[in-house]
Amino acid sequence: MSPKRWFVLLLFVLTPLLVSAKELLLESTRYNVYFAFIKVGEAETKLYKSKNGTYRAISRAYTTGIIDKIYTVRDYLESTFTDSHFIKYKARIREGHYRRDDLITYNPKTGTITYIKNGKLKRKGRVEGPVFDMLSSYFAYRKHLKAEFTVTSGKKEAKPKIKCLSKKKVYVCKLWVPVKGLLVSRNPKKPVTMYIDKRTRILLLSKIPTRWGTIRIKLKGAGHGKDGANHRRK
């Protein structure tokens, strides 16, 4: 085999290892999504940590079964953040005929947020920190249930309110946020109810009120830790 082919083969083998070495998979979760008592889809999240201490969260939601044929959903969210603020948020929303692509960036040195929607600059302005996007705010609350910060949708900001009760194995939290997004009610007067495992801080169940009924997001399975071992909620 020629030296050139050896180099290409070596690059092919090492590339996945080099990429995986940059980030460590901390957690992988899978959920069933219900409207009332009807399963309408599934969702999954993954949390990575890089060597420089930043986190990257990915969330996907999609319809399944007959619902998928009637109204197809393929939503993708991705957030890069630290313990104190988010850095970049990307969203690819595909719901029926509706299409939207969001990009929100935050510069902590200047306190500036830049919001780009469908490739066009929609907003650039200063926001008082600490600030998280609609995906990273979920992980920020899991780490510190009494945390106080600003959450942004790019278009506007709000300060969430959360109240948690400690049960035997879970935290039961009521979350009020007047900004639409992940785990956030469209009606700010009606809180989202979240059940969070005390040990792993993983979301076990979320109840999101809407004008038509309640959406339930229930844990299907999860992998924890560096080994990514799979565990199923019993």
> Token pair of 141, please?
């609350």
| Non-local CB neighbours of 157 within 8 Å, separated by 6+ positions | 127, 131, 150, 151, 179
What fold characterizes domain 23-231? outer membrane lipoprotein receptor (LolB), chain A (2.50.20)
**One digit per residue, pLDDT tens: the chain, 234 residues?**
444 444 434 444 444 444 445 889 999 999 999 998 899 999 999 999 999 999 999 999 999 999 999 999 999 999 999 999 999 999 999 999 999 999 999 999 999 999 999 999 999 999 988 999 989 999 998 888 888 899 999 988 888 889 999 999 999 999 887 655 444 555 667 888 999 999 999 999 999 888 788 999 999 999 865 534 344 443
Strand partners, 216: 34, 207
Enter the pTM of the model.
Answer: 0.82
Domain ranges of the chain: 23-231
Distances (CA, A) of 51 to 24, 57, 160, 173: 8, 15, 30, 32
The token duo for 169 is 């194995």
E runs forming strands in 108-142: 112-117, 120-126, 131-132
Please say whether the beta carbons of 221 and 232 come within 8 A: yes
